[in-house]
A and B are shown apart, each in its own frame.
Chain A
Amino acid sequence: MLVLGIETSCDETAAAVLRDGRLIPASNVVASQADLHSEYGGVVPEIASRKHMETIIPVICRALRGAGVSLRDIEGIAVTRGPGLVGSLLVGLSVAKAIAFALDIPFVGVNHLEGHVASVFLGDSSPDFPFVALVVSGGHTNIYLANGFQDFRVLGQTKDDAAGEAFDKAAKLLNIGYPGGVVIDRLARGGKKDWIQFPRAMKESMDFSFSGLKTSLLKCIKKRGYPFHERDLPDVAASYQEAIVDVLVEKTLRAAQMFSIKKVVVCGGVAANGRLRERFREEADSRGIDVYIPPALFCTDNAAMVAVVGEDILKRGFRDTFDINAVSRWPLDTLRGYS
């Protein structure tokens, strides 16, 4: 089966083609808007939806060319329906509906967070269900017990800011650029991880809180009364990053141990962070847990992960009707399980 995946939930316009559950590598196209947004220090939603409109058709064409197939060969479409910015989601959803209608093929709306979890199936090695999954990005920081496709239980979630947001806002406070996670990751290499003792919040719980960490950095800056010297920035970045990485690793692995699960998946944009990947590998290994982290290319938003979920739904004989709408909030534990 040939499935076309489409993703426009936030920053990226993306398309990809899957043949019988396997990504055709040359078809994985992601047009990032990060360059456009860097001058504003963040995602600018109005620009996002307008840019999606301009890029979606060329991106799909390039994906099809890369796959070496024509639009008429496509047998099903998977498109991100939520959660995300409704204006952005609508662009992908409308194009998906139009193609499905024109070709008379089925389409399904996919949950973006389930897509992130499914990105693990795009890597060289992937686990069987059940596993514990950490989805960590600019908008989300959730720990799930994943029993199967469409069958998730929330074990922990952020009570305020997402981890990616904590990175971005720190980069903003330090005035070191965007995207914050990438800049801090790079700066932190070679920095002293214990130069500043940042707080680790909610140690007893599986929920996260990153708001206090951001405030703690702010307090540091206010106390000094002047910005950090350039030579100190690697140490600040390394200390700050370590505080985020510490809690992500500790809570996720503890969740796995609590449910006697030996497999952990780490996914979402922040899973591309070098230090997070390193620490997860070390810590999981010492606790006898297997950790699966997709290649960085599949951690950030992409359409291949959406197609993986969509193909599973289509293969089970489900399809969506043309009246479905984009949804801004769509918790993963509200999906209907198949069992």
Chain B
Amino acid sequence: MPGKSHPAGDGVSLLKVVSRHPDETFRIGRRIGEHLEGGDVVALIGELGTGKTCIAQGIARGIGVPDEYTITSPTFTLINEYRGRLVLYHFDLYRLNGIRDMEDMGYEEYFFGDGVTVIEWAEKIEDILPEGTLFIYLTYIDENEREIRIPERGQRAVALSNLLK
């Protein structure tokens, strides 16, 4: 049932860091979130347990979603919506079958709106991701360590990875 998997990502890496703890993954997410702008789409790609929800939680705080809102996994709810400096749509496509399911959900309103869209399991809908999508690959190294990688792909990747260095 899962779509194409890209554990290592593709193309040249603009940024490659090793996170040694979920807290560090969260902080990297927060820094990314601080630099995101309206209309940005972030694709999180990695296996179960590599920290997708964790980095998404950081991104949410970086966007300014107040601490009283708990950022939980949207696996069952599919989309969670939060309000910070910008509106954040947190997608989790774990249960999704493919692109046709997305079309029925009216995904264009989210992807091409004024908010920020963060998508877990984005590889399942790769063909409909907007051109400027920022790809973040998370890979399991060991118990605590994860590789976080931004490939040279999409218009936002260069600008954002420079800001993160």
Contact between A219 and B143, CB atoms less than 8 A apart: yes
Of the listed stretches B33-41, B72-80, B153-161, chain A binds B72-80
Contact between B105 and A169, CB atoms less than 8 A apart: no
Interface 1/0 per residue, B120-155 and A, CB below 8 Å: 000000000000000000001011000000000000
Choose among B54, B80, B100, B104 the residue that contacts A87 (Cβ–Cβ < 8 A).
Answer: B104
Q: Give the residues in chain B near A218, CB-CB below 8 Å.
A: 48-49, 140
A162 CB, min distance to chain B CBs, angstroms: 7
B139 CB, min distance to chain A CBs, angstroms: 12
Q: Give the residues in chain A near B53, CB-CB below 8 Å.
A: 160-161, 211
Q: Give the residues in chain B near A43, CB-CB below 8 Å.
A: 76, 95
Q: Give the residues in chain B near A137, CB-CB below 8 Å.
A: 76
Q: Which residue of B lies closest to A170 (CB)?
A: B48
A228 CB, min distance to chain B CBs, angstroms: 16
Q: Give the residues in chain A near B22, CB-CB below 8 Å.
A: 212
Say yes or no for A165: interface residue by CB 8 A criterion: yes
A224 CB, min distance to chain B CBs, angstroms: 14
Q: Give the residues in chain A near B162, CB-CB below 8 Å.
A: none
Contact between B72 and A46, CB atoms less than 8 A apart: no
Q: Which residue of A lies closest to B92 (CB)?
A: A165
Interface 1/0 per residue, A21-52 and B, CB below 8 Å: 00000000000000000001111111101100
Known: A158-B72, A162-B76, A222-B140. A46 touches B100 (CB 8 A): yes
Contact between B48 and A165, CB atoms less than 8 A apart: no
Contact between B77 and A42, CB atoms less than 8 A apart: no
Contact between B76 and A214, CB atoms less than 8 A apart: no
Q: Which residue of B lies closest to A162 (CB)?
A: B76
Q: Give the residues in chain A near B54, CB-CB below 8 Å.
A: 160, 211
Q: Which residue of B lies closest to A50 (CB)?
A: B104
Known: A158-B72, A222-B140. A44 touches B101 (CB 8 A): yes
Q: Which residue of B lies closest to A168 (CB)?
A: B75
Contact between A45 and B78, CB atoms less than 8 A apart: yes
Q: Give the residues in chain A near B105, CB-CB below 8 Å.
A: 45-46, 87
Known: A40-B95, A83-B77, A328-B81. A214 touches B140 (CB 8 A): no
Q: Give the residues in chain A near B15, CB-CB below 8 Å.
A: none
Bound: A143/B1 CA distance, A: 34
Choose among A41, A162, A212, A214 the residue that contacts B1 (Cβ–Cβ < 8 A).
Answer: A41
Known: A219-B143, A328-B79, A328-B81. A45 touches B95 (CB 8 A): yes
B65 CB, min distance to chain A CBs, angstroms: 13
Say yes or no for B94: interface residue by CB 8 A criterion: yes
Q: Give the residues in chain B near A50, CB-CB below 8 Å.
A: 104
Q: Which of B73, B76, B95, B101 has the most CB of A within 10 A?
A: B76
Bound: A114/B57 CA distance, A: 27
B24 CB, min distance to chain A CBs, angstroms: 15
B116 CB, min distance to chain A CBs, angstroms: 17
Known: A46-B104, A214-B48. A85 touches B78 (CB 8 A): yes
Say yes or no for A115: interface residue by CB 8 A criterion: no
Q: Which residue of B lies closest to A169 (CB)?
A: B48
Q: Give the residues in chain B near A46, CB-CB below 8 Å.
A: 96-97, 100-101, 104-105
Q: Give the residues in chain A near B101, CB-CB below 8 Å.
A: 44-47
Say yes or no for A159: interface residue by CB 8 A criterion: yes
Bound: A267/B140 CA distance, A: 35
Q: Which residue of A lies closest to B104 (CB)?
A: A46
Extra inter-chain contacts (18) besides given A41-B1, A157-B72, A164-B76, CB under 8 Å: A40-B1, A41-B95, A44-B95, A44-B96, A44-B101, A45-B101, A46-B97, A46-B104, A138-B76, A157-B70, A159-B72, A160-B54, A160-B73, A162-B76, A165-B73, A219-B49, A328-B80, A328-B81
Of the A-B pairs whose beta carbons lie under 8 Å apart in the complex, a sample of 20, sorted by A's number, is: A40-B95, A42-B95, A43-B95, A45-B95, A47-B97, A47-B101, A49-B104, A138-B76, A139-B75, A157-B72, A158-B72, A160-B53, A160-B72, A168-B75, A173-B48, A212-B22, A218-B49, A218-B140, A328-B77, A329-B77
